[in-house]
Amino acid sequence: MPSYAKDPRCIAMAEALVPLLRRACPEGAGGYGGYYQVNLGDEEAVGLGGVELIRAAMRKAAKQFGWKVTILGWIGTRNGTMVAVQDKREVPEPYRAVVDEAMTDKMRAALHKVWGEPAPAPVQRGSVPLMTQEFRAAVAQGGS
């Protein structure tokens, strides 16, 4: 597998991702507990350089925050291409409650959607459609 570390497309995409990953961390969590996922059309992902390049850019951006990362990337899912990065560092005690609460909120929102609750969904910071929209805008702006 080729290295994308010095590929100008990877570098530009990683630079565009930095502020997005910063916002993906729960507020008040000291930069811990971040998660970022984008769902793109397969052709769109290929046009951006492919799933491996997008994964490499996410890894490069996440390392700027000291994240120990898990990177996922699949092409051809029912949602098209899905690429995600998650901070897997042990969360220090002062931030653990904030990160746990953010995770609980995400689970509550997901279950609300699955169960088809009639009431409005709980407010969820950083939904995947929003992250995907931000990613598209940031990458388009970075490429201009």
First to last CA, the chain: 28
Percentages of the chain per state (helix, strand, coil), in multiples of 5: 50, 15, 35
Distance CA 52, CA 46 (A): 10
The whole-chain average pLDDT of the chain stands at 87
pLDDT score recorded for residue 102: 86
Residues 6+ apart with CB under 8 A from 20: 36, 61, 131, 134, 135, 138
Q: Cα dihedral angle (17, 19, 23, 25), rounded to 10 degrees?
A: 70
Neighbour tally for 90: CB within 10 Å: 8
**What are 34-82's pLDDT values in tens digits?**
999 999 999 999 999 999 999 999 999 999 999 999 888 888 888 789 9
Query: Which phi and psi (to 5°) does residue 69 adopt?
Result: -110, 155
